[in-house]
Each structure stands twice: as structure tokens, then as C-alpha cells.
Amino acid sequence: MLAKAATLPADEVVVDLEDGVGEADKEAARAQAAGAVRAGPGRTTALRVNGRGTPWWEDDLRAAAGARPDVVVLPKVESPDDVAAAAALLPEGTGLEAQIETARGLVEVERIAAAGHGLEALVFGPADLAASLGVPVLTIGAGASDYALARIAVAARANGLQALDGPHAVLEDEAGLRASARRALAHGYDGKWVIHPEQIAPVNEVFTPTDEELARAERILAAGDGALRHEGELVDLASRRLAEALLARGRAARR
């Protein structure tokens, strides 16, 4: 699976030491991490460590310091101090992504987003947040809160960070996967985690503007200044900002 991950058309490959690894296998997984994060050119390589306060946290971060991934994913972040403490154990220049997946983390998300220390993205963790809130679901991604999605996205954007959605755990459910991805996109998210190779193409498609959308954005920019009627709609400066944002998303998706 690790070897195959390096060949897949994902923007980021995340090697997991946290929930995807049983307690008895933590030491062995950490020992393999150095080689596992070599995902190949053109991809961001990431290592998700165990959370602060667990017995494996510091050893995971030391392993990450040796493996030198592009990004370290920090689970269950609940304060800016969690970000700072992790950064202190990592080489300068290591990017960080903070998973927001507890009630406390969501309450503190604005402060977390402003933490600095190489923080690049906020990642919505739907399963652990649902458990933290007492939402009566049993499937990862079910019961996702629009409030949480929106609050995380706003905190990310206000601090110049990316916003990433968590996974859709039901396999062979492309319709549900696409619906989940479209929901995140509607809140302004940049992308979504996937847990199976067959989920990559549908998610990439949802988050990539179509040629028709890009062409319309170009026409809006060419329509002229001020408020005017264009293709049956009012367009003004705000419309042009929307068009510029969509074109920027398109450029990023096609890199």
C-alpha cells in the first residue's frame, strides 16, 4: 500500500501513525516511516503523528524530524500550544497541518489558525468530532456538521491557510463521496482526504472547475467595470472577485 501510494494521482500522500495503526504496531510503524514518506516528485509527503499527551507523541515527532516529510499532520489539536510544542521538535521549515476534531479544538479554532509555526492547513476531522459531540453515528464522515465545516473554513481563510475536509469512509459509494466533496466545496474547502485509490478521481473532479466554469469566469472578467448586466445576471466588482477566485482554484488544480 505504501509503495502504491507513491504512484497515485493525489496531491498529498499521508503516512499514518495514528488511528490507522494499532497500539501494538506503533513502534514498528514508526520505524518504517522514514522510507514511507518518499512519495515522489510533484507530491506533498506528510506524516500523521499521534496526538499530544499520548505515549507516542514525542517519539513520533523525533521520527518525523529524521524522515523530513514536507508536512506533519497533528491530530486532535486543541490549542495554539499544541502547534508550538510540535514545531519545537521538528526541523525549521517543516509544514504543519492541524486536525480540528474535538469540541475543544473547534472552540479554539480561530486561535489555532493564528498559531503560526509553519501551520499551513486546517483539516476537519468528522469522526472524532462527532464522537466528541455525542452525535449518534457509527460511520466516519456521517453526521458532519455544517457549523463545524463553516467555522473551520472561516478560521483558515482569515489566517491564509488551506481548509481540507476529512474522509468519506463508505467504500464503493461514489454518489455519497461526491455529495460529501461538494458539501465541503460549497463551504470553500480546497480539497478532501481520501482513503482508497478509487476515491481520488471523483474528489479531484469535484474540486476542479470545469472548462465551462473557467470560460464563464474569463467572460465575467472581460465584461467591463462597474455594475452591469451580463448573460442575464447582475455582475459587479464582487462578481469579478468570484471569477478570480475560481480561476485561481483552476490553476491550482491543474498544476
User: For residues 168 and 136, what is the distance between their CA atoms, to the nearest angstrom?
Assistant: 17
User: For residues 230 and 220, what is the distance between their CA atoms, to the nearest angstrom?
Assistant: 8
- Residues facing residue 237 across a β-bridge: none
Task: Name the DSSP letter for residue 16.
Answer: E
Over the chain (255 residues), the average pLDDT of each successive run of 10 is: 84 93 93 70 85 95 92 98 97 96 98 98 97 94 92 98 97 97 97 97 96 95 91 94 94 80
pLDDT of 124 reads: 98
pLDDT of 252 reads: 85
DSSP letter for each residue of 59-114:
HHHHHHHHH--SEEEE-S--SHHHHHHHHTTS-TT-EEEEEE-SHHHHHTHHHHHT
Q: Closest Cα partner for 167 from 139, 188, 148?
A: 139
Question: Helix, strand, coil shares of the chain as percentages rounded to 5?
Answer: 45, 15, 40
pLDDT of 38 reads: 59
Report pTM: 0.93
* CB-based contact 105:77 (threshold 8 Å): yes
User: For residues 153 and 44, what is the distance between their CA atoms, to the nearest angstrom?
Assistant: 21
Task: Name the DSSP letter for residue 195.
Answer: S
